[in-house]
């Protein structure tokens, strides 16, 4: 059995099987995480945080409890330890050798955000020698990083960079040193190191007492995203954004009396429950069959945007973008609102091309912007951390910038010549592959793609390529439903062939 696994001193996760690249949910095993963690009676951290985080991220979580703690919002009063003995760390390490796993996240829980020491120095050596070399990523906070390194307190971003590099030398493939406790910092800055490059991941510092369990939740969310098929950098960015949004949502709730309280992990399910069946947030597999509307084509065939969108969804579209270049604003907004309802009732995300104002006004799931549209960084500020942002990229540099700007995916093309977008440079399959390989974000291919060539695009099986975006092959046709079904079948065949080849 293939597993994705995440481990911290208090958590280990496994996922059974990689999620196949298909939109046919009935045949999918849900992504699965197993956490090996301590129980927090206050229910803000540990096993309880992991369960809630995974639930909020749409991932099934099962549990092994390594320690029972009695805590409340004033502090950890009695504790038996997270991985309370060298023996437990050693059993975990042996199990990991015996049952190799796909991904391992080690959250070296030693000092909680409330400052309580959760693991003694005796297990440090076991950590360094056994767990860290096996880890795909480790997620220490400032105190844990200095404990693992046996060094002085980390006080600056520059200290965090040095610590990340030294920790990387202990064996993990990636390191994120969390700077939430960094003094005198307006932003919450985390330093991510992949062995080559450093990235400073910044988010606004939310003023709240409700920060208990942020470390566990970040690690759980990284695990959940990995279980859904994400690669490491996007998983870390989604996790950071998830924690930031959850803190913001929960900043005023009052649970307990201490200086620190828990936050609400599953806020999404609540706001979602009232509005739609769709889980808020971005899932890269949504890019599988990306239908992009065109006002001119709808007019030509005498149909409304809403009818076009309904037909594409019925045929298997997994995400919809309204690209209504000629629409008058008032009419566009009305149509966008109606399409939002249709998409959400089917659990499909709706994005708006170019128009951030329309996306905000109809509460769409996000936007797609090109190189000459609103910069993605500004779009992110306007739309907030939860909305989906896609950016058109033809080059490695543009793809890198999109990642820095906080985009969720990139659209790369034209893969083939197209009549839909005037003067569009064709990058070809080779150009697509180059961008995909360099991208830290999931990619959707676009431009001249139809049922005859979509298989060749997907069978490149190049990393990060998640699907195809199509305009004319769906919407400049007599029957959108038939064409979408046809394309969906082609993509499914290509995906299962790729899956067979890679296993």
Ligand X SMILES: Cc1ncsc1CCOP(=O)(O)O
Encoded tokens for 213: 């369990």
Contact set for ligand LCLJCK34, span 450-489 (CB under 6 A): 469
**273 in active site:** no
With CB under 6 A as the rule, give the number of residues binding ligand X. Answer: 15
Could you tell me which of 191, 182, 388 has the C-alpha nearest to residue 281?
388
Asked if 394 is part of the footprint of ligand LCLJCK34 (rule: CB under 6 A), the reply reads no
- Give the dihedral sign, CA 371/374/379/383: negative
- Give the dihedral sign, CA 14/271/186/253: negative
389/253 Cα distance (integer angstroms): 29
Among candidate residues 9, 66, 139, 214, the one labeled active-site is 214
- The DSSP 8-state label assigned to residue 26 in this structure reads G
Please identify which residue in 214, 321, 398, 439 interacts with ligand LCLJCK34, judged by CB under 6 A.
Answer: 321
Q: What is the DSSP string of 443-501?
A: EEEESS--TTTHHHHHTT--TTEEEEEESHHHHSSS-HHHHHHHHHHHHHHHHHHHHHH
Asked if 418 is part of the footprint of ligand X (rule: CB under 6 A), the reply reads yes
Asked if 370 is part of the footprint of ligand LCLJCK34 (rule: CB under 6 A), the reply reads yes
Nearer to ligand LCLJCK34 by Cβ, of 171 and 296: the residue is 296
Given a contact cutoff of 8 angstroms between Cβ atoms, the answer to whether 157 and 177 are in contact is no
Q: Identify which range of 147-155, 232-240, 444-452, 491-499 contacts ligand X by CB under 6 A.
A: 444-452
Tell me the per-residue interface mask from 399 to 438 with ligand LCLJCK34, x by CB under 6 A, - otherwise.
------------x---------x-----------------
Tell me the per-residue interface mask from 380 to 409 with ligand X, x by CB under 6 A, - otherwise.
------------x-----------------
Tell me the per-residue interface mask from 355 to 394 with Mg ion, x by CB under 5 A, - otherwise.
---------------x--x---------------------
Among candidate residues 15, 79, 178, 433, the one labeled active-site is 178
Residue whose tokens read 């076009």: 308
List the Cα angle 195/196/199 in 5-degree steps.
95
Query: How buried is residue 473: exposed, middle or buried, by Cβ count under 10 Å (0-12/13-18/19+)?
Result: buried
Q: What is the DSSP string of 363-374?
A: T-SEEEE-TTSS
Asked if 446 is part of the footprint of ligand LCLJCK34 (rule: CB under 6 A), the reply reads yes
Encoded tokens for 43: 């229910």
**340 in active site:** no
With CB under 5 A as the rule, give the number of residues binding Mg ion. Answer: 3
Given a contact cutoff of 8 angstroms between Cβ atoms, the answer to whether 307 and 274 are in contact is no
Asked if 353 is part of the footprint of ligand LCLJCK34 (rule: CB under 6 A), the reply reads yes
**460 in active site:** no
165/192 Cα distance (integer angstroms): 10
The residue nearest ligand LCLJCK34 at its CB is: 370
- Closest approach, Cβ 424 to ligand LCLJCK34, in A, equals 8
Residue whose tokens read 């309904």: 310
Binding residues for Mg ion, per CB under 5 A? 354, 370, 373
Active-site amino acid positions: 178, 211, 213-216
Binding residues for ligand LCLJCK34, per CB under 6 A? 290, 292, 321, 323, 353-354, 368-370, 373, 390, 392, 411, 421, 444, 446, 469
Binding residues for ligand X, per CB under 6 A? 392, 413-414, 418, 420-421, 424, 446-449, 470-473
């Amino acid at each position: 059995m293939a597993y994705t696994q995440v481990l911290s001193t208090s958590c280990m996760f496994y996922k059974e099987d990689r999620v196949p690249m298909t939109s046919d949910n009935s045949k999918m095993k849900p992504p699965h995480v197993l956490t090996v963690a301590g129980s927090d009676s206050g229910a803000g951290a540990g096993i309880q945080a992991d369960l809630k985080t995974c639930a909020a991220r749409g991932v099934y979580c099962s549990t092994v409890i390594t320690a029972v703690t009695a805590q409340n919002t004033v502090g950890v009063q009695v504790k038996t330890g997270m991985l309370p003995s060298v023996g437990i760390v050693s059993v975990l390490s042996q199990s990991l050798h015996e049952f190799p796993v796909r991904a391992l996240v080690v959250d070296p829980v030693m000092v909680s955000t409330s400052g309580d020491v959760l693991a003694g120095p005796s297990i440090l050596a076991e950590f360094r020698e056994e767990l860290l070399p096996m880890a795909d990523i480790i997620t220490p906070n400032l105190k844990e990083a200095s404990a693992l390194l046996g060094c002085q307190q980390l006080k600056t971003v520059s200290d965090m960079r040095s610590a990340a590099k030294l920790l990387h030398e202990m064996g993990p493939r990636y390191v994120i040193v969390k700077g939430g406790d960094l003094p005198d910092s307006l932003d919450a800055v985390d330093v991510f190191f992949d062995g080559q490059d450093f990235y400073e991941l910044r988010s606004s510092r939310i003023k709240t007492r409700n920060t208990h369990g942020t470390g566990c939740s970040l690690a759980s969310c990284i695990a959940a995203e990995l279980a859904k098929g994400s690669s490491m950098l996007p998983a870390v960015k989604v996790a950071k954004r998830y924690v930031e949004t959850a803190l913001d949502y929960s900043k005023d709730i009052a649970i307990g009396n201490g200086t620190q309280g828990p936050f609400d992990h599953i806020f999404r399910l609540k706001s979602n429950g009232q509005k739609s069946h769709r889980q808020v947030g971005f899932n890269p597999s949504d890019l599988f069959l990306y239908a992009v509307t065109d006002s001119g084509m709808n007019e030509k065939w005498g149909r409304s945007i809403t009818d076009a969108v309904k037909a594409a969804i019925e045929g298997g579209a997994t995400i919809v973008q309204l690209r209504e270049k000629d629409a008058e604003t008032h009419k566009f907004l009305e149509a966008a609102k109606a399409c939002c309802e249709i998409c959400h009732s089917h659990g499909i995300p709706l994005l708006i091309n170019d128009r951030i104002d329309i996306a905000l006004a109809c509460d769409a799931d996000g936007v797609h912007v090109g190189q000459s549209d609103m910069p993605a960084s500004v779009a992110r500020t306007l739309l907030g951390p939860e909305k989906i942002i896609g950016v058109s990229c033809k080059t490695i540099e543009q793809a890198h910038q999109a990642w820095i700007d906080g985009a969720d995916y990139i659209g790369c093309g034209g893969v083939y010549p197209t009549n839909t977008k005037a003067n569009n440079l064709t990058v070809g399959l080779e150009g697509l592959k180059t961008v995909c390989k360099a991208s830290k974000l999931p990619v959707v291919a676009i431009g001249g793609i139809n049922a005859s060539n979509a298989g060749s695009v997907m069978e490149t099986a190049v990393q990060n390529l998640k699907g195809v975006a199509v305009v004319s092959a769906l919407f400049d046709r007599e029957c959108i439903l038939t064409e979408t079904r046809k394309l969906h079948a082609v993509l499914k065949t290509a995906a299962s062939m790729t899956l067979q080849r890679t296993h």
